[in-house]
A and B are shown apart, each in its own frame.
Chain A
């Protein structure tokens, strides 16, 4: 009997977005590094993409 892990994950990183077409590259997530612990948040101002 095969042992199957029915719920595993991959964590997306820069390589995940390298498959975008040239015209889509601007939509790739921008990596930001915070000095303090990062929380989900909405950045004020216009959206940076799209």
Chain B
């Protein structure tokens, strides 16, 4: 319970993975599991923090700071195989910038942000100092399936989890394109994670219509590349269809290790290879090269 709110911990936990591995209580055991799965490096995202936990700025800052130090300790023992995304306490921009620097020197390879942050979209200029610092530190902004507004969390929690966690980040993708924010920070990379990838053609079509109405040029094929945006796909996606729209240079893939929901697939990386739905060169990019470029590994 945080601030009078109860957050269910076991809602989407992957109980098929031993507690000491999913909680990184036994890092050696987790790394041994990576060896079994044929994974060289994992990029660690939080669980509880996928929703905002409190509207109290000082409480949020204390929670973020502690989480980031815990992850730094995991990284120190992880032999370079457990990298992570730092969680900035966004109520305080100066503290957020400090946390990015702490993360950078302690194994973080990205900056976690939600599709909505409180009463703001992440395209709001309020966040620009964070993007400037991330750009300087060469850390990508990583938008994970998430909910950063407690009222939306409650409202959309009554229905399917689509709007509760997925639609905010997807809306942010469209907002990045229409506001041309990536052009303001031309070296900054962006990631959209645990949303699958089949929404891309839908959102791109929606955005393209608006562009063409205003007489602007549009290119599906180069949209992700031109905006330094990477999207995590799933093996359940129609990957040949996705590749036809966006190419293979900006897709990555993950297991959702530790969770049990619509994106979880502990053998996703092996399955992508075994399925053979897309060319081997594309598989290699999605399994490794693209993630290396995204996270600067």
A2-B288, A43-B1 are known contacts. Are A8 and B42 too (CB-CB below 8 A)?
Answer: yes
Interface size band for A: 35 or more
Main secondary structure of the interface of B (DSSP, over half): mixed
Inter-chain contacts of B252 with A (CB < 8 A)? 4, 6-7
Contact indicator per residue, chain B 132-158, by CB within 8 Å of chain A (1) or not (0): 000000000000100000000110010
Partner of A4, one of B8, B11, B154, B295: B295
Decide: A42 and B5 in contact? CB cutoff 8 A.
Answer: yes
Contact A8 B1, CB 8 Å, known A16-B66, A20-B65: no
Closest CB-CB distance, B103 to chain A, in whole Å?
14
Q: In the complex, what's the smallest C-beta–C-beta distance from B229 to chain A, in angstroms?
A: 14
Could you tell me which residues of chain B, from 8 to 57, have a CB within 8 Å of some CB in chain A? Answer: 8-11, 13, 22-25, 34, 37-49, 53-54, 56
Total A-B Cβ pairs within 8 A: 187
Q: Which of A15, A28, A30, A40 contacts B25 (CB 8 A)?
A: A15
Contacts of B191 in A (CB 8 A): 6
Contact B6 A2 (CB under 8 A): no
| Pair A8/B6 contact, Cβ less than 8 Å | no
